[in-house]
Amino acid sequence: MAESVDDAGDFAGGESAQDKQTAAPPRNAFTELMAPKTKPPKPDAGKSSRSATGKGGKWTGALVEYIEHPERFPREVLRVTPNTVLIKDLYPKATIHLLLLPRDPARYLMNPREAFDDGTFLSVVRDEAVSAARIAAAELSRQLSSFSASSQAQNEAIDAGVLAAELPPGRDFLSEMRIGVHAHPSMDHLHVHIFSPDMHSDKVKHYKHYNSFNTPFFIPLDDFPLAADDERRSTAFQNANLKRDFVCWRCGKVFGNKFAELKRHLEIEFELWKKT
Amino acid sequence: MAESVDDAGDFAGGESAQDKQTAAPPRNAFTELMAPKTKPPKPDAGKSSRSATGKGGKWTGALVEYIEHPERFPREVLRVTPNTVLIKDLYPKATIHLLLLPRDPARYLMNPREAFDDGTFLSVVRDEAVSAARIAAAELSRQLSSFSASSQAQNEAIDAGVLAAELPPGRDFLSEMRIGVHAHPSMDHLHVHIFSPDMHSDKVKHYKHYNSFNTPFFIPLDDFPLAADDERRSTAFQNANLKRDFVCWRCGKVFGNKFAELKRHLEIEFELWKKT
DNA sequence: TATTCCGATAGTGAC
DNA sequence: GTCACTATCGGAATGAG
């Protein structure tokens, strides 16, 4: 199906020489049913190396496995460049949820708020994140266009056999994609989230899963570098964000601490959102 | 089987004329498998009358149903006298768990700490509670004697065909029975608990279930009337009792707030206790 | 200090 | 804020002819 965003085929475009022969799935790793079965590392099954930041006792997480051995994960790895590895989140918190992993060991254990103080690094990551968002939007379009009123004209043209080059534009999924990072220092490896806004996922199980993406705890990549006095650098502020009342990402309704109620509401909003 | 406590057959002894024709199960309501099936009132299924104490909004409980219509509950009602009704607790917190319900409407909505300030009332209830404890001990003996080392000589004599009148004494289950009330004003009808000390029951599900019987929240009937300054009259003291660390009734081991761990321990203690 | 159901909250262990 | 598992803790409903 032709897409209103059309970068899905761009998947291997930025791949570096050293990874070319091993890290490239056939065309698009979203076609995972055809990919060879591999076992992704458990989120906690990485090497037990400790953080290089001097904050002992925290796990670096398993994301480093994707960087060091992307060829081992053909189902998860969507793209490898000299600077980043793009993977599908193993526990997606929305219909589409990708992670962009900077590969530089000098960066990937840093707090994102500080890592992105470096404008050059930020610029590289930002470019590749936008590229990743195009891949994400293409996949979202593939999944949702048939339900979308905004894509109806395009859908009908496709059914009528109109050539791809002459299709009317469909829904602009790319503009809905969210790109950013979690604020608080965590045990995990530096990673940028690229995801659809719906929060419609079985993996959204805890209040932190929701509020870490739907409060100022989530920092859009466009907001970097943060001002020195940006309150989002404050741990106290961010802890409070995670405990905030739930607010529907779409309609703004407040749910207090009623997580189960929020979840039921998200089901309804997802159906409405699909149809727009 | 002959019992070292032998009041089981005394079940209907104190029955009043007005209840005689309706409230008497065949011999002993513990033989419940033979009793007609009836549906006991749910613990909260009483009439919607509110407490006479002026504390609106609390359930009065359904115990009054047993008093007003004991004949409707042949499986639960063990004995009816002019003063009390003895029933099996619908949610037994130990191997044997009976409730003795004073029948006087002028008393049964009172706080037990005050109701038992009346020596005459207390004396009547105490006598009938001791009688109830004999019934309870007889049933406990029936259930546990075969496991009991203290009853071994009696068990062997029974197997050898020794006449009941000449059997050696078995384990003194009556001395282990606990008789008393819960301290704090509750939504429920005045009732005296008669129970074995084991706390071995699927119905022990919450910390209050345990601590309400194994802290000073439980007041032995023998301790009444309480002195005017007895700390057990204090609501604050009793609230604290319910939140105390769990202490094994048998070995004294402390379990903090680890209820599940306590439960596992109680299983072990029950097996040991049975065999003593 | 009625029960039961549901659900929010907290601690842990993972290698 | 990694997940998954266990368990503790907390509120609300409950009946009724």
* pLDDT tens track for A1-25: 333 444 433 333 333 334 434 434 4
* pLDDT tens track for A145-179: 999 999 999 999 999 999 999 999 999 999 999 99
Strand C reaches within 7 A of the A206 CB = yes
Radius of gyration of chain A (CA): 19
Point out the least confidently predicted range of A52-61, B16-25, B117-126: B16-25
Give the separation between CA B232 and CA B95, rounded to whole angstroms.
Answer: 27
Strand D reaches within 7 A of the B186 CB = no
Mean pLDDT of B60-76: 89
* pLDDT tens track for B218-240: 999 999 999 999 999 999 999 99
Mean pLDDT of B68-91: 96
Instruction: Report CA(A22)–C1'(C5) in Å, whole number.
Output: 53
Residue nearest to nucleotide D7 (CA to C1'): B260
Q: Of all nucleotides in the shown strands, which has a C1' nearest the CA of A206?
A: C8
pLDDT of residue A77: 97
* pLDDT tens track for B17-49: 344 344 344 445 565 433 445 666 755 433 334
Give the separation between CA A25 and CA A31, rounded to whole angstroms.
Answer: 9
Residue nearest to nucleotide C13 (CA to C1'): A44
Give the separation between CA A146 and CA A269, rounded to whole angstroms.
Answer: 17
Q: Check whether B65 has a pLDDT greater than 70.
A: yes
Give the separation between CA A239 and CA B53, rounded to whole angstroms.
Answer: 46
Cβ neighbors of B145 (< 8 A, separation 6 or more) are B1, B3, B4, B151, B154, B155, B170, B171
Strand C reaches within 7 A of the B184 CB = yes
pLDDT of residue B62: 82
pLDDT of residue B60: 64
The set of strand D positions with any atom below 7 Å of a protein CB reads 1-4, 6-9, 14-16
pLDDT of residue B202: 97
Give the separation between CA B264 and CA A59, rounded to whole angstroms.
Answer: 34
* pLDDT tens track for A130-148: 999 999 999 999 999 999 9
Instruction: Give the angle subtended at the CA of A36 by the CAs of A33 and A39, to the nearest 5°.
Output: 100
Strand C reaches within 7 A of the A39 CB = no
Q: Check whether A47 has a pLDDT greater than 50.
A: no
B35, B38, B40, B46: CA torsion to nearest 10: -140
Instruction: Report CA(A205)–C1'(C7) in Å, whole number.
Output: 12
Strand D reaches within 7 A of the B257 CB = yes
Strand D reaches within 7 A of the A14 CB = no
Q: Check whether B151 has a pLDDT greater than 90.
A: yes
Instruction: Report CA(A186)–C1'(C3) in Å, whole number.
Output: 42
Instruction: Name residue B178's beta-bridge partners.
Output: B195
DSSP string, B154-212: HHHHHHTT--GGGPPP---HHHH-EEEEE-S--SSPP-EEEE-TT---TT--SHHHHHT
Residue nearest to nucleotide C14 (CA to C1'): A44
Instruction: Report CA(B103)–C1'(D7) in Å, whole number.
Output: 41
> Considering chain B, what is the average pLDDT of its residues?
84
Where residue B176 falls among pLDDT bands split at 50, 70, 90? very high
Instruction: Report CA(B97)–C1'(D15) in Å, whole number.
Output: 25
Give the separation between CA A194 and CA A191, rounded to whole angstroms.
Answer: 10
Q: Of all nucleotides in the shown strands, which has a C1' nearest the CA of B235?
A: C1
Residues A178, A196: contact at Cβ < 8 Å?
yes
Q: Which of residues 216-255 of B touch strand C (CB under 7 A)?
A: 217, 238-239, 242
Q: Check whether A43 has a pLDDT greater than 60.
A: no
In chain B, the percentage of residues whose pLDDT exceeds 70 is 77
Q: Which of residues 53-82 of B touch strand C (CB under 7 A)?
A: 59, 61
Structural domains of chain B, ranges and CATH numbers in brackets: 8-275 (3.30.428.10)
pLDDT of residue A17: 37
Q: Of all nucleotides in the shown strands, which has a C1' nearest the CA of B238?
A: C1
Mean pLDDT of B147-170: 96
Residues B190, B112: contact at Cβ < 8 Å?
yes
Residues A151, A145: contact at Cβ < 8 Å?
yes
Residues B25, B74: contact at Cβ < 8 Å?
yes
In chain A, the percentage of residues whose pLDDT exceeds 70 is 77
Give the separation between CA B250 and CA A190, rounded to whole angstroms.
Answer: 54
Tokens representing B2? 């002959």
Instruction: Report CA(A205)–C1'(C3) in Å, whole number.
Output: 28
Strand D reaches within 7 A of the B261 CB = yes
**Within 10 A of B61 (CB to CB), how many other CB atoms are there?**
20
* pLDDT tens track for A211-220: 999 999 999 9
HEC profile for A82-104?
CCEEEEECCCCCCCCEEEEEECC
Instruction: Report CA(A233)–C1'(D11) in Å, whole number.
Output: 36
Instruction: Give the angle subtended at the CA of B69 by the CAs of B67 and B70, to the nearest 5°.
Output: 70
Give the separation between CA A44 and CA A58, rounded to whole angstroms.
Answer: 11
In this structure, what DSSP letter does residue A236 have? H
Point out the least confidently predicted range of A240-249, B33-42, B115-124: B33-42
* C-alpha closest to that of A244 among A227, A265, A262: A262
**Within 10 A of B147 (CB to CB), how many other CB atoms are there?**
15
pLDDT of residue B194: 98
pLDDT of residue B29: 58
Strand C reaches within 7 A of the B43 CB = yes
Amino acid found at B214: N
> Considering chain A, what is the average pLDDT of its residues?
84
Residue nearest to nucleotide C3 (CA to C1'): B43
Strand D reaches within 7 A of the A47 CB = no
pLDDT of residue A109: 87
The set of strand C positions with any atom below 7 Å of a protein CB reads 1-4, 6-9, 13-15
Where residue A246 falls among pLDDT bands split at 50, 70, 90? very high
Instruction: Report CA(A45)–C1'(C14) in Å, whole number.
Output: 8
Only one residue has tokens 């006991």, namely: B40
Q: Check whether A107 has a pLDDT greater than 70.
A: yes
Strand D reaches within 7 A of the A61 CB = yes
Residue nearest to nucleotide D3 (CA to C1'): A43
